[in-house]
């Protein structure tokens, strides 16, 4: 029964880790970002799988993913900077100077709002996961 709990914990935390690392993968590009996301998820899965008991496997998974969710605002920065750059570059090509400036301000406000939203989500899920893992 111990191995079933460890395998279930491994699968659950593998999926959660991949979901948390997807913004980083999207921001860094296809090859590099996907590689980093899968390597990070594999490391979490290995730590969880090789825990001595099922209870410790769940605890380690919650602790690792809690730390990952606390880092979520930092993981979203490459994606937000890429979105900002593409918005401003497209506005400068097809618009006048005043419209490009307005697009730059709007993109900056959008980046700030998204960063704030991801910060709140990261803190909430980070606290929940760390409390469960302790």
**For residue range 81-127, what is the model confidence (pLDDT) as tens digits?**
888 888 888 776 766 777 778 888 888 898 899 999 999 999 999 99
Q: pTM for this structure?
A: 0.81
Q: Shortest CA distance to 19 belongs to which of 40, 48, 50?
A: 40
Q: What is the sign, positive or negative, of the torsion defined by CA atoms of 124, 122, 106, 87?
A: negative
The winner for highest mean pLDDT among 28-32, 56-60, 93-97, 130-134 is: 56-60
Residue 65, both tokens: 């993913």
Residues whose CB is less than 8 angstroms from the CB of residue 122 and which lie 6 or more positions away in sequence, other chains included: 69, 70, 71, 72, 73
| Residue bearing tokens 């099922």 | 54
Percent of the chain with pLDDT over 90: 29
């Amino acid at each position: 029964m111990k191995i079933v709990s460890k395998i279930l914990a491994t699968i659950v935390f593998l999926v959660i880790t991949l979901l948390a690392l997807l913004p980083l993968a999207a921001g860094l590009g296809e090859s590099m970002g996907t590689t980093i996301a899968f390597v990070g998820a594999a490391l979490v899965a290995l730590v969880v799988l090789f825990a001595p008991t099922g209870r410790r496997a769940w605890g380690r998974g919650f602790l690792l993913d809690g730390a990952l969710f606390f880092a979520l605002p930092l993981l979203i920065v490459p994606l937000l900077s890429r979105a900002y750059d593409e918005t401003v570059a497209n506005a400068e090509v097809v618009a006048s100077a005043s419209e490009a400036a307005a697009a730059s301000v709007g993109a900056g406000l959008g980046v700030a709002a998204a960063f704030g939203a991801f910060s709140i989500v990261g803190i909430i899920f980070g606290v929940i996961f760390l409390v469960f893992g302790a």
